[in-house]
């Protein structure tokens, strides 16, 4: 039976092989998943998994670049959607992603 260490080594080798694996980290726009995606991307890079698409590697830096990206929060004029939009904005601030505008649809 394979040891956990051998299984981990094979998994890392498979993830690092661009012919076998395409790795994309997908996240909801909330603080915890954004931080986890950033952490996982760095950790994978540190162990030699570098086949992460450039668009994924550059996502957070581009979202944080106010010269390149403007974030608009769109919500309905109802209590729950407005509350969820407020939470999204708080998470965005923590992730260093600036919100430019709010649009409230009636």
- Which tens digit of pLDDT belongs to each residue from 60-105? 788 888 888 888 888 899 999 899 889 889 888 888 889 888 999 8
Q: Confirm if 52 and 23 have CB atoms less than 8 A apart.
A: yes
Query: What residues contact residue 69 under an 8 Å CB cut-off, 6+ apart?
Result: 62, 63
- When pLDDT is averaged across residues 1-6 and rounded to a whole number, the result is 79
H-run or E-run covering 59: helix 59-64
Residue 28 has pLDDT above 60, yes or no: no
Query: What residues contact residue 28 under an 8 Å CB cut-off, 6+ apart?
Result: none
Helix, strand, or coil here: 104? strand
Helix, strand, or coil here: 90? helix
74 - beta bridge partners?
103
- When pLDDT is averaged across residues 46-71 and rounded to a whole number, the result is 80
- When pLDDT is averaged across residues 28-44 and rounded to a whole number, the result is 76
């Amino acid at each position: 039976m394979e040891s956990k260490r051998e299984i981990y080594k094979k998994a890392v080798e498979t993830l690092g092989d661009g012919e076998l694996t395409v790795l994309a980290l997908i996240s909801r726009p909330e603080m915890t998943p954004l931080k986890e995606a950033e952490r996982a991307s760095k950790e994978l890079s540190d162990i030699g998994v570098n086949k992460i698409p450039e668009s994924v590697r550059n996502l957070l830096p581009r979202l944080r670049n106010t010269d390149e990206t403007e974030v608009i929060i769109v919500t309905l004029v109802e209590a729950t959607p407005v509350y969820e939009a407020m939470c999204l904005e708080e998470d965005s601030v923590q992730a260093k992603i600036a919100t430019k505008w709010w649009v409230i649809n009636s």
